[in-house]
């Protein structure tokens, strides 16, 4: 647990809590030690991603369960996940409308500097959202 906590820069207590609520499922050894493998790292990455979107842990848990499901899709979980995405998109739409006048006042060099700070994926998403909402 200490190694994964250090690797992901989170506390052991947080990892223990995620395990208690069922977000992480480590393998137990014969001596009852918990081993956190690659799947746990992927789940921690998803948790970090969703937390950056200000999603509550209960919603994060349901989203991760939907992603990890074994080819059987629970319709209600899928609908809830899409509602969560719609809510996030609405929030992004509002943010874009707030930022648009600010961005329009920037000169070309300032816009380029700002764009260079974004990852390629972020730029593509921002452009898609602008097209979608305009």
Instruction: Read off the pLDDT of each residue in 112-133 and give the average, rounded to a whole number.
Output: 74
CB 58 within 8 A of CB 22: no
The pLDDT of residue 75 is: 72
Q: What is the pLDDT of residues 29-71, one digit of tens each?
A: 888 888 888 888 889 998 988 888 778 888 888 878 777 666 5
With vertex at residue 40, the alpha carbon angle to CA 88 and CA 52, rounded to the nearest 5 degrees, is: 25
Q: What is the pLDDT of residues 71-113, one digit of tens each?
A: 556 677 677 777 877 888 788 788 888 888 888 898 999 888 8
Kindly report the pTM of this predicted structure.
0.56
């Amino acid at each position: 647990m200490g190694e994964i906590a250090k690797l992901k820069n989170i506390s052991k207590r947080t990892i223990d809590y995620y395990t208690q609520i069922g977000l992480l499922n480590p393998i137990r050894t014969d001596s009852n030690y918990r081993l956190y493998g690659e799947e746990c790292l992927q789940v921690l990455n998803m948790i970090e991603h969703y937390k950056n979107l200000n999603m509550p842990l209960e919603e994060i848990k349901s989203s991760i369960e939907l992603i990890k499901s074994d080819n059987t899709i629970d319709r209600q979980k899928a609908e809830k996940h899409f509602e969560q995405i719609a809510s996030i998109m609405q929030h992004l739409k509002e943010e874009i409308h707030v930022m648009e006048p600010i961005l329009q006042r920037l000169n070309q060099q300032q816009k380029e500097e700002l764009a260079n700070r974004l990852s390629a994926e972020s730029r593509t998403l921002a452009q898609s959202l602008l097209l979608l909402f305009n």
